[in-house]
Structure 1
Amino acid sequence: MHLKAFLKLVEIQTKVASALPLWAGGAFAWHRYGEARAWTFLTFWISLLCIDMATTAINNLMDYRKAVRKEGYNYQEHNAMAAYGLEERTAEGAIAVLLGTGAIFGILLSLQTDLLVLVLGILAFGVGILYSWGPVPISRTPLGEVFSGLFMGFLIFFLSAYVQLESPGWVELDLEAGRVLLALAWVEPVVLLLVSLPLVFGIANIMLANNICDMEDDRANGRTTLPMCLGKPNALALFKGLYVLAYLSPVLLAATGILPWTGFLAPVAYLPVHRMVQGFVRNPDKKETFVLSVKSFLWTGLFHVLVSLSGLVL
């Protein structure tokens, strides 16, 4: 498999969806807790990137295998298997290497941190596989947006912040005398959840936009996604509403002192996102306007990172 085909198979341009929560979590930990551990951050990034690429490759492979409609942009151009004439065994080999590499770096990360990171890593690993593989892949159900938003928007953010801390103290998981002991100081995890909401909503919206564009093909291929349950008008309204909430959140968190005062600039930062959202809503099309949903998230994630980093210098 040559490089161009591999990058298409893993849809490398979409990896920003996992990288931005990683950077945002690290930046927030640096701002709020004053700690940064470069090696654990890099280890986590490598593991995350490999698992994310493997998940996308599995999704493309399963879409190729299960496709009923074998014409049009989504199959002939968008899916790397068809576009580059890849053999299934070649794709399976690439997936195995990516999963193995991700697992190795995940284990290294847990050795540098604690048992909680290992447990959450295994959970995320399992969801990543089940998202695209199995009798009923999550991506083919109305829960795709929920799982992608929470696991990529919140869990990555949480872990990225957590692994920066030498002794977090607010979440502890131990094995003792055959028992699993969990101690939870709930305030900080809830703070991290609230801070991650713009990322949760943005990533969910990438999945939502993708499913809105694919409604006709999904119906032919036997999928039952969230837009198919809501209907296109309601799905588009949800898409717009989630971005409004994503930019309301930093204002509220800045008012409580959790984020720096730069969070009050969210309404200004929302203006270009609003234009991109309107562009997608007017013509939701996989080839022409889907990229606007990715650009909207990119802008949102970068604003999120900059707000946290501003707390270090202001």
Structure 2
Amino acid sequence: MTTKIKIKEPEQLLALPAGKNWAVWWNLLRPHTLTAAFVPVAIGTVLALPLKPVKLNLFFAMLLACMLIQVATNAFNEYYDFVRGLDNEQSVGIGGAIVREGVAPHLVLTLASGFIVAALFLGFYLASATSWWLLPIGAVCIMAGYLYSGGPRPIAATPFGEVVAGTFMGLVIILLSFYIQTGSVTLSSVLVSIPVSFLIGAILMANNIRDLEGDRKNGRRTLAILLGHKRAVVCLTVIFSIAYVWLLGLVFSGVLPWGALLAFGSLPKAIQAVKGFRGKTTPRQMMPAMKATAQTNTLFGLLLALVLLFQYN
């Protein structure tokens, strides 16, 4: 049985009960995902502290640009998942602006496009202050965010979602944040970006484990679908393990200070995530595990950034 979604016109949306209008748009942005943009920018910036004084104007411009791309990606995801019939009123882990609140799909698409335009303006500012090579790199990042859900063959429907997300939201953002402060990229900055990249990939793996059955019915071929639930949870465990073992290697090799081991304070959340997926069969049952996975990345990144901030100041 197909549920018919009643779409509100723009003037109807503006007439929502007091306070609800802003809540609809706020939920559409999925604010809980913004730490995935903040963490790599913060790490890339604090890594630059031993080399050059941090330029706060470039830091905030980079941070805002990354957040705009993140919320645009979320809005594109909301739009295209609705168009492809992937979301309904019972779907978990979404903003729900279209399927639950009846916001016109074209408004969501317009909002996403507006965020991209704003990010482009910030990109021009950053490029003019550092290097014009940032523009093509930024354009590729924006395209990756769009193609994650959009296009004839969205990345989200393939086994490569985890790799693409981890690469662009981890490695690329960290290196760009480092570069705009120092004018260079070092081996250390690349090595430090690796565990963060794995943990961001873990968020996508957790998302795909949660949505495995629904994605399968809609013809998707995510890595979680190819592996099956049990082996996908094992894969998630391996991803977590690589991140923490890599961190140990960075500390013992002298790339990071001993204080970086404080990031192991996020390990209980990783364990909670893995346990939370075992034996669960419905998306709602797996939501706590999905949340714990995102919190693992947030805690790991923030603890590492704070340690480096105090170490290098």
Which band: TM-score by shorter chain? 0.7 to 0.9
RMSD: 2.0
Show the counterpart of 2:22.
3
Per-residue Cα deviation, 1:92-133 (whole angstroms, up to 9, x for no partner)? 221121111111111111111102222211111111111111
Q: Residues 93, 242 of structure 1: CA spacing in aligned structure 2 closer, same or farther, 3 A cutoff? A: same
CA contact (8 A) 1:206 1:294 kept: yes
Per-residue Cα deviation, 1:40-74 (whole angstroms, up to 9, x for no partner)? 11111111111111111001110011016746334
Shift of 1:270: 4.8
Per-residue Cα deviation, 1:200-237 (whole angstroms, up to 9, x for no partner)? 11110110000000011101222111101111111101
What are the within-5 Å matches in structure 2 for residues 145-224 of structure 1?
145-165=162-182, 167-168=183-184, 188=186, 190-224=187-221
Shift of 1:78: 5.3
CA contact (8 A) 2:82 2:99 kept: yes
Show the counterpart of 1:173.
none
- 2:249 is matched by which residue type in structure 1? L
Show the counterpart of 1:250.
247
Q: Where does structure 2 lack aligned partners over 5 or more consecutive residues?
A: 1-12, 14-20
Q: Residues 7, 285 of structure 1: CA spacing in aligned structure 2 closer, same or farther, 3 A cutoff? A: farther
- 2:68 is matched by which residue type in structure 1? C
Query: 2:173, 2:223 → 1: CA distance?
Result: 23
Q: Residues 132, 73 of structure 1: CA spacing in aligned structure 2 closer, same or farther, 3 A cutoff? A: closer
CA contact (8 A) 2:263 2:301 kept: no
CA contact (8 A) 2:195 2:246 kept: yes
Specify which of 76, 84, 90 is matched with residue 66 of structure 1.
84
Specify which of 108, 115, 118 is matched with residue 91 of structure 1.
108
Q: Residues 264, 291 of structure 1: CA spacing in aligned structure 2 closer, same or farther, 3 A cutoff? A: closer
Per-residue Cα deviation, 1:266-304 (whole angstroms, up to 9, x for no partner)? 55x254234323332334754332211111111111122
Specify which of 114, 135, 140 is matched with residue 157 of structure 2.
140
CA contact (8 A) 1:212 1:284 kept: no
Q: TM-score, normalised by structure 2?
A: 0.86
Query: 1:68, 1:93 → 2: CA distance?
Result: 20
Show the counterpart of 1:21.
40
Query: 2:197, 2:173 → 1: CA distance?
Result: 10
Show the counterpart of 1:277.
273
Query: 2:73, 2:263 → 1: CA distance?
Result: 32
- 2:291 is matched by which residue type in structure 1? V
Q: Is 2:230 aligned against 1:238? A: no
Q: Secondary structure at the match of 1:81?
A: coil
Query: 1:305, 1:101 → 2: CA distance?
Result: 27
Q: Secondary structure at the match of 1:115?
A: coil
Q: Secondary structure at the match of 2:181?
A: coil
Q: Secondary structure at the match of 1:83?
A: coil
Show the counterpart of 2:6.
none
CA contact (8 A) 2:28 2:96 kept: yes
Query: 2:219, 2:242 → 1: CA distance?
Result: 32
